[in-house]
Amino acid sequence: MKLFFPVIFATAYGLITRLLFGMFGNIMGIMTTSFFVIGPLVIGFLTVFFLPQKEVRNSSTAFFLPWLTCLILLVITIALKVEGIICWVMAYPLFAVVAGFGGLIANKIRKKKDMKIDDMENYNKWTDKDKLSISLVMLLPIICATIEGERFTSRQDITLTQSVVIDATAAAVWEAIGSTRNVAKKHAGYSGMLGFPHYVKTTQDNFALGGKRRAVYERGLYFDETISGFEKEKLLVLDIKTDPYNIPPAVMDEHILIGGKHLDILQDVYQLEALPNGSSSLSISSHFFINTPFNWYAGLWARLLMNDILNGTLNMVKERVGKK
């Protein structure tokens, strides 16, 4: 029981912290270093600090045991619908590693002080200074979050391009790009596995300059598009507008909501070139931005998912060409 109590205690602390950040989101944003770095650091610290010394045999135990705490927290928050799967899949690697460093810090402090009282059962024997120190550590994410706010967020614009050669004429490919036929085959890629809705169809009033289109996905997700560039069988530019308030809450986590303050897709560009052998080269570029305090990490996931979505769009065009 002494082995599992620290994990349970740290998990409960993590859950309460997450709920507090959700309740007071106007002053304690979840997409902050206070939550994503200091939060797991404290979770890992508590997991190891309250563990009986004999159970922490080496630094590996101190580093990896907090991963279990984070995993339990993941399962509980998903079960309670506090967080969605896609958000946790992206957050867990960073969360677990940082928690591991928190465990290493706790282990080093305990060894340095040669602490004899190291579990909650003997909490009443702690000095007032010890109790105050632990209390301040537990309050650290909240204190830092109220100070941080959104001061450390920074916008980063990203443009990604994917290309494919299609065994069809430019005219046939162009017709497939402008087609509104439904696509029966779902794209089996990373985005779908992580819960991003599959593409269903496109509606449009006019396939010409100034035309209005709507790309419809499963579960009520859609993107309104305006044709701002049009050169038949060569170029199609789509300005994208997404209203986050019209996206059902069950579709995507609020922290990675497209059209929100942390992520938005701005423009897609199709470029088509007829090749000498009668086939065609089609490329799609997507311009979007991320706005977080840790763009280096969020950008890795954004690039992975967007590249997969672009490949899915290219496959959709190829399918439409093949069905003609």
- 303: domain CATH number? 3.30.530.20
**124 and 256 share one domain:** no
For 64-102, the pLDDT digits (tens) are 999 999 999 999 998 988 887 888 888 999 999 999 999
**9 and 62 share one domain:** yes
**194 and 135 share one domain:** no
For 129-165, the pLDDT digits (tens) are 667 788 899 999 999 999 888 888 899 999 999 999 9
Structural domain containing residue 34: 5-148
pLDDT at 166: 94
Of 113, 148, 183, at which residue does a domain stop? 148
Residue scoring higher pLDDT (261 or 247): 261
**141 and 170 share one domain:** no
Handedness of CA 243, 249, 255, 257 (dihedral sign): negative
**107 and 34 share one domain:** yes
**141 and 160 share one domain:** no
For 27-52, the pLDDT digits (tens) are 778 889 999 999 999 999 999 988 87
**180 and 137 share one domain:** no
**298 and 164 share one domain:** yes
Percentage of the chain modeled with pLDDT above 70: 88
Q: Comparing 116-125, 216-225, 283-292, which segment has the lowest mean pLDDT?
A: 116-125
Of 148, 168, 203, at which residue does a domain stop? 148
User: Is residue 112 over pLDDT 90?
Assistant: no
Burial 163-181 (b: 16+ CB within 10 A, else e): ebebebbbebbbbbbbbee
**212 and 186 share one domain:** yes
Q: How many domains does the chain have?
A: 2
**142 and 160 share one domain:** no
**117 and 252 share one domain:** no
For 216-235, the pLDDT digits (tens) are 888 888 899 999 999 999 99
**85 and 164 share one domain:** no
Of 96, 119, 148, at which residue does a domain stop? 148
pLDDT at 291: 93
Q: Comparing 177-186, 209-218, 227-236, 259-268, which segment has the lowest mean pLDDT?
A: 177-186
